[in-house]
Amino acid sequence: MMLGICSRRALHSLRRACSATAPAASFSRPITPFRPHLITPKPTPSLLTLIRPISSFRPSQPLSSVSPSPTPSSASAGPTISRASRNDYRKQLLRVQQELTLLRRRLPPLPKPSRRNLALSLLLLATALVLLYKFVSPFRRLVIAAERCSRVGYAVFRCIIDYKILFRGKWEATPEGKAERHEAYENCHRKCAIRIREVLRTNGGIYIKLGQHLSSVQLIPLPWSQEMRPLQDQCQPTPLPELQALFLSDVGAPLSTFFSSFDPTPIGVASLAQVHRATLRETGQQVAVKVMHPDLEEFSEVDMKTTTLMLKIVKSVFPSFEFTWLGEEMEENLPLEMDFRHEAANAARCAADFASLKTTTLVVPQVIWAKKRAMVMEFIEGARIDDLRYLAEHQIDRNQVSKQLQHIFSRMIYVTGFFHADPHGGNLLIRPAQPGSRSPYNFEIVLLDHGLYFDMAPDLRVNYAKLWLSLISPSSESVESDRRKYAYLVGNIDDSLYPIFQAAITGRAALDDPYAAVQADGGVASEGAKLPEKRGSVLELGEHTEQEQRRMRHAIVQTEGLMLSLFDLLRRVPRRLLMVLKVNDLARALDNSLHTTHGPSRIFLIVAHYCNLSIYISDLSLLSHTYRTSGLSFSLVRQSLSVWWRFELWNVSLGVAAAWADMTAKVVKWRLWARGMRKDGWKRAWEEQAGLAV
């Protein structure tokens, strides 16, 4: 600053000297002024004794005056300055520059930071950051959120690079080339799925929920769903002190106020919450206490935004990949799942939907009270529904268990229109029938975790039921027309996507088989080779063999445009219908895990029964509306008889087919028992009949 003041004073002195001897109008051209501020000095300490007072500087010789007698040639150009004056002016400028240079040399240089000072500064900075992280909650959340987001972003970026490299690959149009292409796609799918799975496991919380959802979606490459299945049992419990703090914050009192005993070891841990067994202090009743993970709400919003952003980035890089609906579904439904009051309302509505039935195997645990992050409900002891040894020890027929599961979920989807959207094995318990039970069998099915439910609009529900009945009906020209008609009404599916849509609904590839030309080993059937026989109805389908599953998996990779068609299907189908397809997939998975002997057609018969009932209820509602508006008429009577006849005809047909399927299933079980007896006596026969030897 002092240097700038001195420079300005020197310039002012120089200008004053020049103005005293030579007016500005006497120069032939303007003189460029000296700008000392363009000289960048080094930083100077305030040592006034080292600064020479430049303000006392005066020119040693005045500038010469203007020539009084200009030549004729120069008169027109204006006044000029003599060469001696210009040289003297340059000397003045040079002297000022020398003074400034000398002044800079006299000032001492700034001290360079030593290694010790640098290390001390870094240590102080690190200490400050650690203290901020430990004691300032917003800063800690910011750091953790940034770490979680960067972890997800890095994994997604690596997957994008892998798929970019994969899609640029070229393979020969030979059986060997197609096999190499299939192997490359499978390896890339599996590698990326494992990478994403590890990130989801590390982040925890709603990321675990996302992985669990992906594991149950059929319309994605098989390696992705397979690699996500371990996340079903990868949830870490929250320590008891953190749960006590959460309970105190939400309820306003410690655990000891409500419970005389509280088991610190959770009996179940899920992605959003964990459940502990406890005893109510007032009544002594055994209860289950469900408490949310404390850190879940802290990062849920940023995690949802990160997931949606990553899916949008993937879509921008690969426009054909349609998975943005996953992010939209999470942002819509996850806040509801994180409010246990909403779950309590769902459980009450589900129980009310089944309350009018005289007989049912369904049991919904009673909710005693619920807060946003804590809920107390009745404790019900049982085993997982796919525990075959437990079923055998309690003499519970696994075939009947599978059928009752299908009865419960079909009634939810096709009749009440309010269905549980996450019925995996961890959310279902089975126990022996209790005294006073409404169950007509020796077991009850307990449905847990009522956080995720969906409503199904009446028109969508009825049209979907009509689609299923058309798939079950024997094939004909009118039936084929109905199938495609209702596929369009239900999912906006045209003829080009109908075969894939039908395979997604049934989980099979036999009707209008889009995979018929692909063999189980991944090769393409040669011209004239025998292709799988096309079936006219889902009731004609046999067992869902491993060969058929491999053929479907290979076809998705090898058939030109089939993967893009799947993504197009995901874009068109309503979100509610995607949830219905998820429930169907989970129900089929439970049927497979129970090792039933009645075959897949028995499940389709139950679905058809409730589809018929749904259509009948809808038709009766329309007839009732017509009667109220137009009164009784011959046409109304004729329509009523037609509706009743169609309903009863389906009932009788389905009843006969169900009786035959049940009888066949019993014969198969007795054959298994006889085979076990021949092999190793009574014990082996018991295991064979119970499905334990499969």
Summarize pLDDT for 41-88 with one digit per residue, the tens.
Answer: 444 444 344 444 444 444 444 444 444 444 444 444 445 556 777 788
The region, left, alpha or beta by phi > 0 then psi within -120 to 50, assigned to residue 143 is alpha
Task: Please tell me the distance from the alpha carbon of residue 341 to that of residue 348, in angstroms, as a whole number.
Answer: 11
Q: Averaging pLDDT over each range in 226-230, 563-567, 609-613, 676-680, which range is the top one?
A: 609-613
How many CB atoms lie under 10 A from the CB of residue 494? 13
Q: Where in the chain are all domains bearing CATH 3.30.200.20? A: 236-292+339-379
Query: What local confidence, expressed as pLDDT, does residue 9 receive?
Result: 53
Q: Averaging pLDDT over each range in 84-98, 142-156, 634-648, 672-686, which range is the top one?
A: 634-648
Task: Please tell me the distance from the alpha carbon of residue 633 to that of residue 530, in angstroms, as a whole number.
Answer: 57
43: its two tokens = 């930083």
Task: Give the domain 236-292+339-379 fold.
Answer: Phosphorylase Kinase; domain 1 (3.30.200)
422 is catalytic: yes
Query: What local confidence, expressed as pLDDT, does residue 74 receive?
Result: 43
- 572 alpha carbon, distance to own chain's centre: 19
Model confidence at 119, pLDDT cuts 50, 70, 90, reads: confident
Q: What percentage of residues in the chain have a pLDDT greater than 70? A: 78
Name the active-site residue from 386, 397, 422, 591: 422
Task: Please tell me the distance from the alpha carbon of residue 278 to that of residue 262, in angstroms, as a whole number.
Answer: 4
Query: What local confidence, expressed as pLDDT, does residue 110 receive?
Result: 65
Are the C-beta atoms of 569 and 498 separated by less than 8 Å? no
Task: Please tell me the distance from the alpha carbon of residue 624 to that of residue 628, in angstroms, as a whole number.
Answer: 6
Task: Please tell me the distance from the alpha carbon of residue 559 to that of residue 185, in angstroms, as a whole number.
Answer: 13
Query: What local confidence, expressed as pLDDT, does residue 511 receive?
Result: 56
Query: What local confidence, expressed as pLDDT, does residue 407 receive?
Result: 95
Task: Please tell me the distance from the alpha carbon of residue 470 to that of residue 540, in angstroms, as a whole number.
Answer: 13
16: its two tokens = 């004053």
Are the C-beta atoms of 605 and 399 separated by less than 8 Å? no
pTM of the predicted model as reported, rounded to 2 decimal places: 0.74
- Helix/strand/coil for 116: helix
Kindly report the average pLDDT of the chain as a whole number: 80
The tens digit of pLDDT for each residue in 584-639 reads 888 888 888 898 998 888 899 999 999 999 999 999 999 999 999 988 889 999 99
The tens digit of pLDDT for each residue in 176-221 reads 888 888 888 889 999 999 999 999 988 888 888 888 878 877 667 7
Residue 494 has pLDDT above 90, yes or no: no
